[in-house]
Amino acid sequence: AQTVTQSQPEMSVQEAETVTLSCTYDTSESDYYLFWYKQPPSRQMILVIRQEAYKQQNATENRFSVNFQKAAKSFSLKISDSQLGDAAMYFCALGTGGGADGLTFGKGTHLIIQP
């Protein structure tokens, strides 16, 4: 069975500061993908960033970057220069089967941005 654990139910950061959200996972698959999704109050699920497990280079999308530690099965999300619009629930997700399996999600981290 696959698991995804987000150990921080809630995080708070000052606007313009940097925050890191933690995620650990467990899978017996060698080929898998990791994702961070954002869910604002509208409840829409928005893809933030994705990482292929076979790639050693950490993914980056503008102010969002990941720290992928494959041996430790860790996949943290760093948000730089936090903005008020970043306030949301953030979910870490694991996909296997070349994308043919359903994603396994963590329980989420509620990110609060302090103005």
In the complex, the residues that contact another protein under the rule CB under 8 A are 4, 33, 35, 37, 42-47, 50, 91, 93, 95, 97-108
Write down the least CB distance from residue 10 to another protein, Å: 11
Token pair for 100: 């043919």
Q: What DSSP letter does each residue of 74-115 carry, written as one string? A: EEEEEE-S--GGG-EEEEEEEEEGGGTS--EE---EEEEEE-
| Segment (H or E) for 4 | strand 3-5
Query: For residues 81 and 98, which CB has a smaller minimum distance to another protein in the complex?
Result: 98
CB of 115 to another protein, least distance (A): 25
CB 67, CB 76: distance < 8 Å: yes
Q: CB-wise, 84 or 100, nearer to another protein?
A: 100
Q: How far is the CB of 14 from another protein (least distance, A)?
A: 26
Nearer to another protein, 12 or 98 (CB): 98
